[in-house]
A and B are shown apart, each in its own frame.
Chain A
Amino acid sequence: MRRPNYGSLHLTAAFSLAALLLYIPANILPILHLDKLGVSSDNTVWSGCVALFHDNQWGIAIIVFLASILIPLVKLLGLFFLVTTTAMQSRWARKTRTWIYKTIEIIGRWAMLDVFVMAILVSLVKLHLLANVIPGKGLFAFCAVVVFTLLASAAFDPQLIWNDEEE
């Protein structure tokens, strides 16, 4: 059995904290600025969901909401929770925490899909030459959240949950 990687705690905690911090501007600030025939609109992820919902595309609206708002938050909070309890060397509910870790790994794959949606949308709109799409301030925060979340979940070593440092 290999020795757990203690450094991974620092990495996971730091990356997930950074991602959590940037999660706020990523969702408050517009990620997309749309100029359509002189009418400009700023779009946040949330306003995109609402617009889809009002358009009766509620299936897509729910997917976008889950993938870009709810799941990233759950994933980050879960990771942060795991990392803090592990750092405190808690022996509490180790099975549950392992289960949480596994769940995060599974649902985490569904996070942040809409970056791809955005890429498609941008190219689509650019093709049409009718609207001008400019990335908003929030998009950079959004991308940073994606990267940090990836790094955080990659860095976490689940073996640490079961580790007792001083044996």
Chain B
Amino acid sequence: MIDPATEQAADRSSDGKSAVPEMALPRPTIRKMRWPYPLIWIVPIVAAVALAIYLHDHSKDDGPTIRILFKDAGGLQTDETVVKYRGVEVGKVSSIRLSDDHHYAVVEVHLRRPAASIATAGALFWIVRPEISVGNIAGLGTLVTGPYIQALPGTGPADLEFTGLEKPPLVPDDQGLWLVLHIDHVQNLQPDSPIFYRGVRVGTVEEVQLAPDSTHVNVHTVIWGRYAPLVHRRTQFWRISGADVKGGVFTGIEVKLDSLQALLTGGIAFATPETDAGPVATEADQFTVHDQPKSEWLSWSPSIAINPASGDRAPRKNPSKEAHSAFDSVMGKK
């Protein structure tokens, strides 16, 4: 069997032979050497395919660059500081400079493409630094790694300019009940002081501020979403100092410790009456914190259903199936 190409080439060479006298003998050798070489062009073709794949991968990971204004960008480093959301790295700081009016540090962040949707109006950014205070140690890992920027996506349209927060936003993604409690004197109450119900921590003091008319102090607190139903309109709040020392001639000295943290940071406890408690409290309700509980408050024990914990809302019958459906709903969204 003769290959048509070979045949054609043979024809050509015989034509050449007929035109030129006997001397053109080396030509068939050249032809024979030539045929495998075009195969080598597979190499650049493979290289081109590899290039296409590389560039596709690269562009897939390449998101927008956003700008965040911080009052203080101390500790942030170009190309090293990362932006995280739910513990996942979603971007990296690409440049840090001073704003034109010198009021802000302008931090440019290069987001990864899959995380581009974080940059939407209303998104919050703050810098996580090691924080050690009485009753609270946070961000210890950043002692070694340096600070990172924590992101919380917004819900609005895409945006590229943001103003960073000075400190973490108060209770992100938790449907807590915000209350303003009035108190005469803060004593040792401070942000992060606990709020107790029957000795269980159910909330946190977020901010302590003097009232606008300076007649009292407003203690901004959040009762965590799970425990919000515990607070009714007639709920009574009182201060706990952590330690309660009573002395008597016949009883000796009695020391009562509520909580070690409360000993250091103070705290607030509350109780809700069994009868005539009023409707469930809303954020508009005002409460006063008393210095001492009345003895009957301590015996109140109403039956109030609290919200299930967000972690185990589902019945625990078939956890694996539950996990799968959660996985599907997350992955399916894409």
Instruction: Provide the bound-state CA to CA distance between A18 and B141, in Å.
Output: 45
Pick the residue among A11, A17, A29, A148 that contacts B54 (CB under 8 A).
A29
Pick the interface stretch among B37-45, B125-133, B247-255: B37-45
Cross-chain contact B47 with A17 (CB below 8 angstroms) = yes
Pick the residue among B33, B48, B80 that contacts A7 (CB under 8 A).
B33
Q: Which residues of B contact A141 (CB under 8 A)?
A: 50, 54
Cross-chain contact A39 with B146 (CB below 8 angstroms) = yes
Instruction: Provide the bound-state CA to CA distance between A3 and B36, in Å.
Output: 18
Instruction: Provide the bound-state CA to CA distance between A19 and B41, in Å.
Output: 12
CB distance from B43 to the nearest CB of A (A): 5
Number of A-B contacts (CB under 8 A): 70
Cross-chain contact B144 with A38 (CB below 8 angstroms) = yes
Instruction: Provide the bound-state CA to CA distance between A74 and B260, in Å.
Output: 71
CB distance from B120 to the nearest CB of A (A): 26
Instruction: Provide the bound-state CA to CA distance between A11 and B43, in Å.
Output: 10
Any chain B CB within 8 A of the CB of A10?
yes
Any chain A CB within 8 A of the CB of B51?
yes
Cross-chain contact A148 with B50 (CB below 8 angstroms) = no
Cross-chain contact B144 with A22 (CB below 8 angstroms) = no
Cross-chain contact A18 with B38 (CB below 8 angstroms) = no
Q: Which residues of B contact A40 (CB under 8 A)?
A: 82, 89
Instruction: Provide the bound-state CA to CA distance between A10 and B37, in Å.
Output: 6
Pick the residue among A11, A22, A37 that contacts B37 (CB under 8 A).
A11
Cross-chain contact A38 with B79 (CB below 8 angstroms) = no
Instruction: Provide the bound-state CA to CA distance between A39 and B148, in Å.
Output: 10
Any chain A CB within 8 A of the CB of B58?
yes
Cross-chain contact A25 with B34 (CB below 8 angstroms) = no
Nearest-neighbor residue (CB-CB) of B35 within chain A = A7
Cross-chain contact B58 with A28 (CB below 8 angstroms) = yes
Contacts A6-B34, A28-B58 given; does A18 touch B80 at CB 8 Å: no
Any chain B CB within 8 A of the CB of A41?
yes
Q: Which residues of A contact B55 (CB under 8 A)?
A: 24-25, 28
Pick the residue among A18, A29, A38, A137 that contacts B145 (CB under 8 A).
A38
Cross-chain contact A18 with B44 (CB below 8 angstroms) = yes
Nearest-neighbor residue (CB-CB) of B41 within chain A = A14
Nearest-neighbor residue (CB-CB) of A9 within chain B = B37
In the complex, chain B residues 47-83 whose Cβ is within 8 Å of any chain A Cβ:
47-48, 50-51, 54-55, 57-58, 79-80, 82
CB distance from B89 to the nearest CB of A (A): 8
Any chain A CB within 8 A of the CB of B30?
yes
Q: Which residues of B contact A21 (CB under 8 A)?
A: 44, 47-48, 50-51
Interface residues on B, range: 20 to 34
Pick the residue among A14, A39, A137 that contacts B44 (CB under 8 A).
A14
Nearest-neighbor residue (CB-CB) of B142 within chain A = A38
Any chain A CB within 8 A of the CB of B46?
yes
* Binary CB contact string for chain A from 148 to 159 against chain B (1 if under 8 A, 0 otherwise): 100000000000
Cross-chain contact A41 with B47 (CB below 8 angstroms) = no
Q: Which residues of A contact B57 (CB under 8 A)?
A: 137
Cross-chain contact A18 with B43 (CB below 8 angstroms) = yes
Pick the residue among B43, B50, B79 that contacts A14 (CB under 8 A).
B43
Cross-chain contact A11 with B40 (CB below 8 angstroms) = yes
Report which residue of B33, B44, B144 has the largest number of chain A beta carbons within 10 angstroms of its beta carbon: B44
CB distance from A43 to the nearest CB of B (A): 9
Nearest-neighbor residue (CB-CB) of B40 within chain A = A14
Pick the residue among A3, A18, A37, A148 that contacts B144 (CB under 8 A).
A37
Pick the residue among B26, B40, B54, B89 that contacts A25 (CB under 8 A).
B54
Any chain B CB within 8 A of the CB of A15?
yes
In the complex, chain A residues 109-167 whose Cβ is within 8 Å of any chain B Cβ:
137, 141, 144, 148
Cross-chain contact A39 with B47 (CB below 8 angstroms) = no
Nearest-neighbor residue (CB-CB) of A12 within chain B = B40
Q: Which residues of A contact B33 (CB under 8 A)?
A: 6-7
Q: Which residues of B contact A25 (CB under 8 A)?
A: 50-51, 54-55, 58
6 interchain residue pairs of minimum CB distance: A18-B47, A10-B37, A25-B54, A38-B145, A17-B44, A18-B44
* A residues in contact (CB < 8 Å) with B: 3, 6-7, 10-11, 14-15, 17-19, 21-22, 24-25, 28-29, 37-41, 47, 137, 141, 144, 148
A sample of 15 more A-B contacts (CB under 8 A), given A25-B51, A28-B54, A28-B58, is: A10-B38, A14-B43, A14-B44, A21-B48, A22-B47, A22-B51, A24-B54, A24-B55, A25-B55, A25-B58, A28-B55, A39-B145, A41-B80, A137-B54, A141-B50
14 contacts between A and B (CB under 8 A): A6-B33, A7-B37, A10-B41, A11-B37, A14-B41, A14-B43, A15-B40, A21-B44, A28-B54, A37-B144, A38-B145, A41-B79, A144-B47, A144-B50
